Structure 1
């Protein structure tokens, strides 16, 4: 008689389980490969990383100039507020002295039984009542009306100063908010650039960091090759410069002396600079005060064409006028390129031209 029992199934051994799992995963991978649903994004090439990093540095520099402007406005607002508070304190002290004097006179009149309406007013605690009644007393011709009028003027002055200080404080807080926002933007851009650079090898990073970060490297091929190899590059030798003025020559000499110092965003020297901080410091050494930011420095002195460039002129780049260098002649400039780099000589052809200005 034939048996109707199902054939006995042998349990899967460990090796069989692993083989089955491998085949299952391979089949799943093949399926997803064809439908493309889980393909990993291919990694960026070094050239693509460099392009993204250069763009981030450009955006960070634009944000840095906005930060510099906000910090300058914040400083002005803080100084104005401090001055207003000092003046209000002085006038308040003067007002208190005047009111105390009236109070002493009032006490004397009270003891003699001749306390006039002006003296009664001087002892009033409510400033609103004081000011409302003061005019009536002045018109009434009280013998102390002059003293009352002087105190009244001082009350108005103190209140005006307090109102102005409150408005200045509101402006200060607005500038502080903008300052924090621009700072966060800069730091975010730089952090993203660092993340991208960390994906590269040490040699690839060194090559990118040796360049300006503006789509071009040093104008001197030998210097560029030396930086890529990690060698120290000495600054160009000092030489006579055909500058349009002695002040321009001094600004150029200062810039040569800054070569090799690091770029630090928001820095104005003497140990580190950002781009506009360097040009400001260079011209300050010649006795000329420049505004802090690229977009205000371009309006300094007279605007000139590219064909009129002379050593000491300020040269600006990008549509947002977010970068500046100091022209030294021969189509070259000295500038502070970007974080991770140092002050160096570069070609003015390395970046999109925006304009030029001559401070004096």
Structure 2
């Protein structure tokens, strides 16, 4: 009897497992561009949408990085142009001083030691004339050196301005190229989204956990509270809020609300603060995903994170591991 009972128990367990698997196949989990992989039993259309969305998000961050490069190059160009103006003004002032000293020498204001001795009326007069000669010689040498330094400064500023202009032009070309690639990728992703079934779109549009989630005290808690308050808002590539977000703009705005400035792109956000291990994750930590560092979420605790995933998926809470492969975790404060 005991043997038959064990067999019935085993058959019941096997049946339950099979039913669970069937239910899982019938109700695929919502999957965003940031998710590491689509369940094998999801539709081909959903798989294509996930792949295209992830590629579009990566291109979006690359486009933002190109804009950041342009901004830095433009700043360098502006500073170089200001340095050129300052150097040119210094040249004009010093050149005028040198011209005056040269003119004075032609008018007889300059004497050598012999002429000073010959025209002096007394020993004291000679000493006075020699002192004046020393002052004039010193002034002229100082003015000439200053003019030379100003010329060197102007040339250096002009060189830096040329380099900055070249960098800015390259950044502009890079932006144009990446923008064209991004637009094409977004179009493909949107077409793939429209091909999804109504059930798949509904699953993607589900905002998930909207319940009140406690946050810790301090700046990290303030940033997390802001991010959580954005749940349900739409993702838009390149958006900076306040009604739509992309992944990195949400993180930037969250910390800005706590009075802390962080960079705009995932690549730069992956370098701020200090690195912490997966086992040490705390509320407010930035979790950067994928080897290309193209997605970011904010930790709620050691299990969950809030993030803006991709177009067609609202800002939501998900398990940290379900979002994607973690590349690096950065603690902004503390």
Say which structure, 1 or 2, has more relative contact order (CA 8 Å, 6+ apart): 2
Q: Does TM, normalized by the shorter one, top 0.5?
A: yes
Deviation at 1:262, TM superposition (A): 3.0
Contact 1:219 1:347 in 2 (8 A): no
SS of structure 1 residue aligned to 2:330 = strand
Asked which structure has the greater CA Rg, the reply is: 1
Match of 1:210 among 190, 205, 209: 205
SS of structure 1 residue aligned to 2:234 = coil
Tell me, in whole angstroms, the C-alpha distance in 2 between the residues paired with 1:333 and 1:151: 61
Tell me, in whole angstroms, the C-alpha distance in 2 between the residues paired with 1:297 and 1:330: 20
Structure 1's unaligned 5+ residue stretches are 1-45, 117-140, 212-217, 221-234
TM-score, normalization by structure 2: 0.69
Question: Residues 56 and 319 from structure 1, CA distance in 2 versus in 1: closer, same or farther, beyond 3 angstroms?
Answer: same
1:236 alignment counterpart: 211
1:49 aligns with 2:45: yes
Match of 2:240 among 224, 245, 268: 268
TM-score, normalization by structure 1: 0.64
Tell me, in whole angstroms, the C-alpha distance in 2 between the residues paired with 1:77 and 1:294: 20
Report the count of equivalent residues.
Answer: 267
2:182 alignment counterpart: 186
Structure 2's unaligned 5+ residue stretches are 1-41, 112-136
1:161 aligns with 2:136: no
SS of structure 1 residue aligned to 2:43 = helix
Tell me, in whole angstroms, the C-alpha distance in 2 between the residues paired with 1:96 and 1:259: 61
1:87 aligns with 2:83: yes
Tell me, in whole angstroms, the C-alpha distance in 2 between the residues paired with 1:318 and 1:240: 28
SS of structure 1 residue aligned to 2:275 = strand
Question: Residues 113 and 307 from structure 1, CA distance in 2 versus in 1: closer, same or farther, beyond 3 angstroms?
Answer: closer
2:330 alignment counterpart: 357
Match of 1:149 among 145, 152, 170: 145
Question: Residues 72 and 113 from structure 1, CA distance in 2 versus in 1: closer, same or farther, beyond 3 angstroms?
Answer: same
Deviation at 1:113, TM superposition (A): 7.6
Aligned residue runs from structure 1 range 331-346, under 5 A: 331-346=303-318
Deviation at 1:105, TM superposition (A): 5.8
Question: Residues 142 and 101 from structure 1, CA distance in 2 versus in 1: closer, same or farther, beyond 3 angstroms?
Answer: closer
Contact 2:239 2:245 in 1 (8 A): yes
Match of 1:315 among 266, 287, 302: 287
